[in-house]
Amino acid sequence: MKSLTHLSATVVLVAFLSFLTLLSSTIPSNVAWAQAPRLVGEWKWSHVGFTGTMRIKTQNPDGTFSGEFSPPHYAATIKGKVKGDQVEFVRSFTWSDGKEKEQRFEATLVGSGDNVRMVKGRVTGFDGRSDNSSWWGDFSAEKSPSVATIAAPGAKDGQQP
């Protein structure tokens, strides 16, 4: 009888611990997504005297995102990731010599939801002379509220949850 009670207590404890493990693995990612800044939309950027726009087209619950730089003379694809208040992305483009080049951007996100900016940014990589320059300029960007999109998990440009 004593071993049956011990067995029952063990089964209940294992079931409870399994439930807690399941609960802890699903809630944090959902909470993190709900609190994540919504990057999908049009952004105005500034970098060492140059300005332009970029459009973030997709944002996923794991923090990854993609989009493009514009106008045409800055045309490029971007792929990146948000982790906490830090954002990193790579701009990939073809230079005037026909060779593929990359620039790496890092910045701090401030604000929340659709009211978000990238500040204290830096750029490394291709700078017109070298493919691997160290830091060579400040970068900042501000999301344009007029075209802000509410992004659901896995949302693409223009989709509503």
For the chain, what are the domain ranges?
1-35, 41-156
For residue 160, the model assigns a pLDDT of 36
Q: Kindly state the tokens that stand for 37.
A: 């800044």
Identify the helix (H) or strand (E) that includes residue 52.
Answer: strand 50-59
How many angstroms separate the CA atoms of 79 and 70, rounded?
A: 14
CB 96 within 8 A of CB 74: no
For residue 14, the model assigns a pLDDT of 46
How many angstroms separate the CA atoms of 80 and 73, rounded?
A: 21
Q: Locate tokens 């089964």: which residue?
A: 11
User: Residues 36-78: pLDDT tens digits?
Assistant: 688 999 999 998 888 889 999 999 999 999 999 886 667 899 9
What residues in the chain have per-residue pLDDT under 50? 11-17, 19-20, 22-34, 147-152, 157-161
How many angstroms separate the CA atoms of 142 and 2, rounded?
A: 67
CATH topology of domain 41-156: Lipocalin (2.40.128)
Question: Model-level pTM?
Answer: 0.67
Secondary structure percentages of the chain, helix, strand, coil, to 5: 25, 45, 30
Q: Which of 107, 108, 113, 143 is nearest to 34 (CA)?
A: 113
* Amino acid letter, residue 97: D
